[in-house]
């Protein structure tokens, strides 16, 4: 029975890794849809978010079932509770990718991002994908050292977010109100995606060490 119990615990970790892969892919495809005004890709990102939601619901159900049946303590209890919180962060990351895809769909056949801001958005998308990949590796290897490095990538995302605002406020630019709103929201979506990745990393540190970083 204990072997079955630990297999169930391990399966929760595998589900978290699967969710991380899905949200990373979603963000990459959402960025492509946004920059290329690709309606088909945007629609696929929006519909694929259901799979992330389903995994979260499945993980939550299994975790709560383990709590009820096994009444875990110490490290096992910490694993289950922390996994529940990590799955919520990952589900939100999927939502943020979907939001970006929805902007691409809303502005189709036009490109929502002005030409002079495309490189910034492209870099934000690259960093978001890198964060998702690192997050999966951190969960898989319970890598505390790499988890502690993730805020540095978040700092780079924050700087790009600020760069978008500087561009919007520059008196030399003449963006429409619609464009300004789109860019403001999109920048926020990328920034929050990175914040949730860092949150997952910090939860992993707590899971492994029992201490808040």
Which domain, by its residues, includes 79?
2-209
User: Cα separation of 14 and 21, whole Å?
Assistant: 11
Number of domains in the chain: 1
User: What's the pLDDT at 157?
Assistant: 97
User: What's the pLDDT at 135?
Assistant: 96
| Percent of the chain as helix, strand, coil, to the nearest 5 | 90, 0, 10
CATH code of residue 160: 1.20.58.220
Cβ pair 189, 100 in contact under 8 A: yes
69: CB partners within 8 A, 6+ apart: none
In Å, how far from its chain's centre is CA 100? 12
User: Cα separation of 164 and 147, whole Å?
Assistant: 27
- HSE (CB half, 13 Å, CA atoms) of 170? 13
User: Cα separation of 109 and 178, whole Å?
Assistant: 15
User: What's the pLDDT at 67?
Assistant: 87
| Stretches in the chain below the pLDDT threshold 70 | 1-2
User: What's the pLDDT at 1?
Assistant: 54
User: What's the pLDDT at 2?
Assistant: 59
Name the average pLDDT for the chain: 94
pTM of the entire predicted model: 0.94
User: What's the pLDDT at 171?
Assistant: 78
State the distance between the two ends of the chain, measured CA to CA, in whole angstroms.
34
């Amino acid at each position: 029975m204990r072997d079955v119990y630990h297999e169930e615990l391990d399966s929760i970790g595998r589900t978290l890794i699967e969710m991380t892969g899905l949200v990373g892919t979603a963000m990459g495809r959402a960025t492509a849809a946004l920059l290329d005004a690709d309606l088909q890709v945007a629609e696929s990102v929006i519909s694929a978010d259901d799979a992330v939601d389903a995994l979260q619901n499945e993980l939550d159900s299994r975790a709560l079932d383990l709590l009820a049946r096994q009444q875990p303590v110490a490290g096992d209890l910490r694993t289950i509770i922390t996994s529940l919180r990590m799955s919520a962060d990952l589900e939100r990351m999927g939502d943020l990718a979907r939001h970006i895809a929805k902007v691409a769909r809303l502005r189709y056949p036009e490109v929502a991002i002005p030409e002079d801001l495309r490189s910034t958005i492209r870099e934000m998308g690259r960093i978001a994908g890198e964060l998702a990949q690192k997050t999966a590796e951190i969960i898989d290897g319970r890598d505390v050292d790499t988890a502690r490095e993730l805020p540095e990538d978040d700092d780079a995302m924050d700087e790009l977010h600020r760069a978008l605002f500087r561009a919007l406020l520059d008196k030399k630019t003449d963006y429409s109100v619609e464009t300004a709103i789109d860019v403001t929201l999109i920048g926020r979506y990328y920034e929050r995606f990175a914040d949730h990745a860092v949150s997952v990393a910090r939860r992993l540190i707590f899971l492994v060490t029992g201490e808040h970083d």
